[in-house]
Amino acid sequence: MTLVLGIDIGGTATRAVVTTLGGTRAGSGRAGAANPVTVPAAEVAANLTAALTEALSTVDRAEVGAAVAGAAGASRPAVLRAAFDTLGVRCPLHVVGDAVVAFAAGTDAPAGSVLISGTGAVAAEVREGDLVRTADGLGWLLGDLGSGFWIGRAAATATARALYRGAPPGRLVELVCAEVGERAGDPFVAAVYERPPRELAALAPLVTTAATAGDPLALSIMDEAAGHLCRTLAGVREPGDRSPIVLAGGVLRQCLPLRQAVHDRLTAAWPDAPLRTAGPAEEGAARLAARLLEASSRRRPARS
């Protein structure tokens, strides 16, 4: 049996899946963040190895014919290749941008747009498996507007301001204070600054919870995040474009208030474009690996 390996290297988690050429799962694994842009090299290596070890534990590694990994740090594949070598995986490895695998996880169309909001945020135009152009994806320090990190930071900022004003705490402020462990202005701010910046993304689900309950502050953060994301997409997509738009990333998939706000804006801006929600990115990567393997087989000369 020929198998393929798909890997999603994210800023929050690393997921790997082994499937048949038809997409049936044969193994899967999950570990912590392994994005080489934002995570220390030793942590990257450990998490990649853990996710791959688990995914490959139920299959014959010699049957894996191709692998595709999607990562924001696609220009740094050496650490991934090192993990493959350590685990004895000998198949060809293709490292592509996370937008490419996200698009493949949402549609079989050859061209269109993908809008991702996970720990980070990026929009891209994709054609025939290649990135044509991108917008944002600049990381937490320079961009990622509307991402899980951005939403978490907005929640922390709004909470700090509410505490200093002495305003009665709403649902969002209560949730964030409980998570941070402080309920007064100065101690709250100090506690937030003691955390690694990327951990602010962990506050994003609290905004989802509060927004679902109708908290006005949380709803305003979601609306602003939706505006950022749609403006980012407009940077890579022409008016009147009818190709598919794929919504991807853990935040857009799991946060119904944000996904609905984005959906409404996109439907108004591109009324003739199909809107799709991506499945798991590692499955999109496995789908690309299967396509590459099948294309390679077609190019291979037949034996006489």
pLDDT in tens, 107-152: 989 999 999 998 889 999 999 888 899 999 998 899 999 999 999 9
The confidence band for 301, taking pLDDT boundaries of 50, 70 and 90, is low
Across 33-47, b (16+ Cβ under 10 Å) vs e yields bbbbbbbeeeebbbb
Q: Residue 236 in contact with residue 105, Cβ under 8 Å? A: no
Q: Which CATH superfamily is domain 139-277 in?
A: ATPase, nucleotide binding domain (3.30.420.40)
Residue 300's pLDDT is 61
Ranges in the chain annotated CATH 3.30.420.40: 3-105+279-299, 139-277
2 versus 296: which is more confidently predicted? 2
Q: Which residue's structure tokens are 């994210």?
A: 10
CATH match of 3-105+279-299 with 3.30.420.40: yes
Which alpha helices (DSSP H) does the chain contain, by range?
41-56, 78-87, 98-104, 139-142, 148-165, 171-180, 185-194, 204-212, 216-234, 250-254, 256-269, 281-299
- Average model confidence (pLDDT) for the chain? 91
- % of residues, the chain, pLDDT over 90: 71
Phi and psi at residue 96, in whole multiples of 5°? -130, 170
Question: What's the full length of the chain, in residues?
Answer: 304
Residue 139's pLDDT is 87
Give the predicted TM-score (pTM) of the model: 0.81
Residue 250's pLDDT is 87
